[in-house]
Structure 1
Amino acid sequence: MSPLVPEVDKYDCTVIHEDIVKKVRENMPDEESLMDLADLFKVFADSTRVKILCALSLSEMCVCDIASLLGMTNSAISHQLRILKQSKLIKNRREGKVVYYSLDDEHVNNIFSQGLSHVSE
């Protein structure tokens, strides 16, 4: 470590603020909810799935349209759509032989928009 840069990772905390710890502990979600949230964020860790979510935030689309947009095969897109659907991030509707995909609800759009806003700062 350079002598000109202060060491910011060193903590000499010896006092536990019991009131704060108690308040936070009482308001923490249960373990299962936190694990589900971690799994949700894992779905966002794939750039192809993020691109699909971005596209679907702009318009309802079928597999062929998404594949054309992203320059991928229908099979590759279908695989990613299956993961997104299992995670309840997208939904589909059938019109004749064509299946159209869209974001599941406004929560998904909010998550996506907030994340994009955060990385754009």
Structure 2
Amino acid sequence: MSQVKIYGLRSHLTPIKSQLSDIIHSCVVDALHYPIDKRFHRFFPLEPDDYYYPSGERTERYTIIELSMFEGRTVAAKKQLIRLLFDRLDKEFGISNLDLEITIFETAKHNWGIRGLPGDELSLSYKVNV
């Protein structure tokens, strides 16, 4: 399981939301061997008075990506995901490394509730331990 939250200025996120979701999902699929049909993305477009970040260091493209997922992925897989996100978002949208922050939150499966069950009781169609 992996859920993604994307934060940024409304003026920046709204025009690229669909394509940004596609690129983020491609990174998750490639790095974590995640099923192509499992996409859980939520966008949080913010007005300038709701989004403070360091002036001079960041631009209006400043974007925060938070990924919540079952624990079990290797350090190598998570680092690969981070590298792919930095690379692809810079190439596709010009979101520089200074304008992108990524956080991965891992939680034990039993702390998730999905389809009426605790996560550790689910039958998944994909591997988590990659």
TM-score, normalised to structure 1, is: 0.26
Larger Rg: 1
Question: Which structure is higher in strand share?
Answer: 2
Question: Which structure is higher in helix share?
Answer: 1
